[in-house]
Structure 1
Amino acid sequence: MALYVQKFGGSSVANIERIGQVADKVQRFHADGHQIVVVLSAMSGETNRLLGLAREISSSPSPREQDLLVSTGEQVTIALLAMALEQRGVPAVSMTGWQVPIRTDSAHGKARVQEIDGDHVRERLNAGSVVVVAGFQGVDLDGHVTTLGRGGSDTTAVALAAVLKADECQIYTDVDGVYTTDPRVVAEARRLDSITFEEMLEMASQGSRILQIRSVEFAGKYNVPLRVLHSFQDGPGTLITTEQETPMEQPIISGIAFNRDEAKLTIRGVADTPGVAFRILGPISAANIEVDVIVQNVAEEDNTTDLTFTVGRQDYEQALHILQQTGEELGARQVTGTTSIAKVSIIGVGMRSHAGVASRMFAALARENINIQMISTSEIKVSVVIDEKYTELAVRALHGEFGLDTPLVTRA
């Protein structure tokens, strides 16, 4: 007998028919003698609908009340699934975040899990019930309902799996696993049998939207085996786990990620003095805007510096306004920005033991006449910022360059 935590996203519970299909799947696992915890998102589009209602009332609704409002979406799906399971003869009980309880901090809209008391869930499991838990939500120390941010149901599932010491956390989605890149861009993209936490974290942070970044971080920290599966198609999916020994022919690169939701800002002609980078980026950070790639160039002839950085496209207008104010204060020669960029990244633990990976990447892009505007690297990743219109061409070129068009060797 195994203990599984299974998470189903909004598209998997989009209507009563699909909720019934999820119940059928859970019933089969339960019939095999396994203990099952199911974590659900709200029905597809429901959270946006609820947020829209809030905006009809107020342009800036209370964060506390907004969290209380949007948390109801998950309460609907967990109750309906519990009913569907009971109808199939499977004992089931639904639990909201506060009923578990899942304790979080008080950062409404982006709360972080601090502690989970798994006793109530274990009691129900040991009594033979399937426990259906509302994803995306928790409760702070003052008893206020909180939400974990977009994709927060993934984090709920992984956190529960860690606390309950589940044999596996299974994330059911509308894709049958993690691919070498988006199959809609590269038809030859292939499903990976397995990928390391490190690689998946980089894939998620560089644009792959299969899993929430925080859920991958959580899984890696607590060593929770994580598997991505298709909600309604049978298959092995992709296992995300700790790094293992791999066959000699394992590809250097595991995947290509890309992100079009990027914007680039540049401030030119600022005096090159100690602390200038902080004076430029400090106000951006203070506005809770995340900076990604940073490049600084110093002109020794006039002792000035240019600094270029990227932010999320949704933060572009605010970041540009802040940077223009900073430019006036620092006497900058020019402040410019653009939203017509994209970031393309190659990712793989094999990069640790192979030299020349970055140069191969740059050569492949050069052959397609794609200019590189910025470069960022880590131990297992190389990212480049390019003109957005060349995104798909770049992804296809790199996918072929690193042999990802050919069948992958299964990891041990």
Structure 2
Amino acid sequence: MRIIVQKFGGTSVANEDVRKLVVGKVEKVRSQGYSPVVVVSAMGRKGENYATDTLIGLARTANKNIAARELDHMMYCGEMISAVIMAGTLQAAGMDAVMLTGGQAGIITDNHFGRARILKIEPSRIISLIKAGRIPVVCGFQGMTTEGEFTTLGRGGSDTTAAALGATLSAEMIEIYTDVDGIMTADPRMVKSAQILDCISYGEVCQLAHQGAKVIHPRAVEIAMQKNIPLIVKSTFSDEPGTLITNIGQDENGGTIVSDRIATGVTSLSNIAQIRVNIDAGAAHGSSFQVFKLMAESCISVDLINVHPGQIMFTVAGDAAERAVNRLREGGYQVAVTYDCAKVSVVGGGMREVPGVMASFVEALATNKISILQTVDSHTSISALVKREDVQAAVLALHEKFGLAG
């Protein structure tokens, strides 16, 4: 069996006209000799009748603190509606499509409602359907515990569903359909000269996603990478080839990819707060550990960590800042906080061991009079904390400095 998994996001299944385009994408891979497995998200976006956020809002009209288990049952409905409609659309076009919930597709998860992790996939039912020439239409974002409880996989969970199914079924390709023509060098709303990338490595796209780019969920990339299955991010609304995500140096036809680019893209995250904790420079080595233990116990995620004698600096999401500060002060620490920050990042697998990359990064911001509050770097990324009002200027400056405008 030659299998391709095709995942269609909410805008790709939102109305009848768009769903006809989906039919064309499914028909195309069938004509090429592949067996498609279709994964769908809930229809539309926030405010539309069956979008996930709309369903969450409806549930919370009854109880704003509704339990996670019951909320998962509500969120489950969005993908079920979408899958039924998409299966019906394919049937009307003459294809033998079968709608499956996440549980029916064999996706077994733990019981962390709202953010479940896939434990395993039992693919026998899907394999039987494919062998019979039928097209499974699977609800993304969903799973089921061994006890039969409905679960959801968290934001971006439909990407994760597609990747997990692709890995389990040894698919030749995973196609992620959205409303853009591919992964871009920057957010085009910030940078008009942003370019679509023809190819990007698994590691680079994971970094972009973790640093704020809303391209594909990093969990999905990590799953596909384990089995070395290529992913393609492309548009439902055009025939553009999209962006290939694969091991660097090899394309989907086994050809060689040659690229000497240092940077692949620039991205940003807003609504960040910087926290500075004063500690006794002569205190026991466990002092910094205690600071981060307090954050962990409070379920507060930290980023951009710098530890110095006498001071620890890190960032948290803006909506967690007050809780973090209060918890640290309760622990006896002196704390200062800077609100309204943003993180800008340059990502690129080619920057490893290349001298002068940090100099170029700092020069780009300094030339544009953008103050750097904090930095952190790795082999494949450099990030700086800036004031929120400087974020667009920072992204533009870095995009130009690293030659990403084409």
Same fold? TM cut 0.5: yes
Asked if residue 342 in structure 1 is aligned to residue 342 in structure 2, the reply is yes
Asked if residue 254 in structure 1 is aligned to residue 254 in structure 2, the reply is no
Q: Could you say which residue in structure 1 is the equivalent of 2:253?
A: none
Q: Could you say which residue in structure 1 is the equivalent of 2:295?
A: 284
Q: Could you say which residue in structure 2 is the equivalent of 1:42?
A: 42
Q: Could you say which residue in structure 1 is the equivalent of 2:385?
A: 385
Question: Please, what is the CA RMSD of the aligned residues?
Answer: 1.6
Counterpart Cα distance in 2 of 1:164 and 1:109: 25
Alpha-carbon distance, 1:372 to partner: 1.0
Counterpart Cα distance in 2 of 1:317 and 1:20: 48
Counterpart Cα distance in 1 of 2:293 and 2:67: 28
The 8 Å contact of residues 20 and 81 in structure 1, kept in 2 or not, is answered as no
1:210 aligned residue (206, 212, 215): 215
Q: Could you say which residue in structure 1 is the equivalent of 2:98?
A: 93
TM-score between the two structures when normalised by the length of structure 1: 0.92
Asked if residue 170 in structure 1 is aligned to residue 180 in structure 2, the reply is no
C-alpha deviations, 1:264-312, integer Å up to 9, x for none? 11222545431111211111111221111112332xxxxxx12111012
Counterpart Cα distance in 2 of 1:248 and 1:37: 32
Runs of 4 or more, structure 1, over 3 Å off, are: 245-249, 269-272
Counterpart Cα distance in 1 of 2:375 and 2:403: 22
Alpha-carbon distance, 1:321 to partner: 2.1
The 8 Å contact of residues 79 and 140 in structure 2, kept in 1 or not, is answered as yes
| Alpha-carbon distance change, 249 to 205 in structure 1, aligned in 2, over 3 angstroms | closer
The 8 Å contact of residues 40 and 83 in structure 2, kept in 1 or not, is answered as yes
One-letter identity of the residue aligned with 1:261: N
Alpha-carbon distance, 1:368 to partner: 1.0
Q: Could you say which residue in structure 2 is the equivalent of 1:302?
A: none
Q: Could you say which residue in structure 2 is the equivalent of 1:296?
A: 307
The 8 Å contact of residues 103 and 141 in structure 1, kept in 2 or not, is answered as yes
Q: Could you say which residue in structure 2 is the equivalent of 1:194?
A: 199
Counterpart Cα distance in 2 of 1:213 and 1:318: 27
Q: Could you say which residue in structure 1 is the equivalent of 2:30?
A: 30
Counterpart Cα distance in 1 of 2:222 and 2:338: 31
Aligned runs of 1:42-81 on 2, under 5 Å? 42-44=42-44, 45=46, 46-81=51-86
One-letter identity of the residue aligned with 1:295: N
One-letter identity of the residue aligned with 2:274: K
Asked if residue 149 in structure 1 is aligned to residue 151 in structure 2, the reply is no
Q: What SS does structure 1 have at the residue aligned with 2:352?
A: helix
The 8 Å contact of residues 232 and 242 in structure 2, kept in 1 or not, is answered as yes
One-letter identity of the residue aligned with 1:320: V
Counterpart Cα distance in 1 of 2:290 and 2:385: 24
Structure 2, unaligned stretches of length 5 or more? 251-255
The 8 Å contact of residues 9 and 41 in structure 2, kept in 1 or not, is answered as yes
Counterpart Cα distance in 1 of 2:2 and 2:193: 35
The 8 Å contact of residues 249 and 258 in structure 2, kept in 1 or not, is answered as no
Q: Could you say which residue in structure 2 is the equivalent of 1:124?
A: 129
| Alpha-carbon distance change, 65 to 365 in structure 1, aligned in 2, over 3 angstroms | same
The 8 Å contact of residues 284 and 319 in structure 1, kept in 2 or not, is answered as yes
Q: Could you say which residue in structure 2 is the equivalent of 1:301?
A: none
Counterpart Cα distance in 1 of 2:162 and 2:312: 40
Asked if residue 313 in structure 1 is aligned to residue 318 in structure 2, the reply is yes
Counterpart Cα distance in 2 of 1:400 and 1:98: 47
Report how many residues are paired: 395
Deviates further, 249-258 or 88-97: 249-258
Structure 1, unaligned stretches of length 5 or more? 299-304, 407-412
Deviates further, 346-355 or 67-76: 346-355
Q: What SS does structure 1 have at the residue aligned with 2:328?
A: helix
TM-score between the two structures when normalised by the length of structure 2: 0.93
Q: What SS does structure 2 have at the residue aligned with 1:71?
A: helix
| Alpha-carbon distance change, 18 to 47 in structure 1, aligned in 2, over 3 angstroms | same
The 8 Å contact of residues 12 and 179 in structure 2, kept in 1 or not, is answered as yes
Counterpart Cα distance in 2 of 1:104 and 1:63: 15
Q: Could you say which residue in structure 2 is the equivalent of 1:409?
A: none
The 8 Å contact of residues 271 and 388 in structure 2, kept in 1 or not, is answered as no
Deviates further, 123-132 or 152-161: 123-132
The 8 Å contact of residues 249 and 257 in structure 2, kept in 1 or not, is answered as no
Alpha-carbon distance, 1:116 to partner: 0.5
> Identity over the aligned pairs, expressed in percent?
39
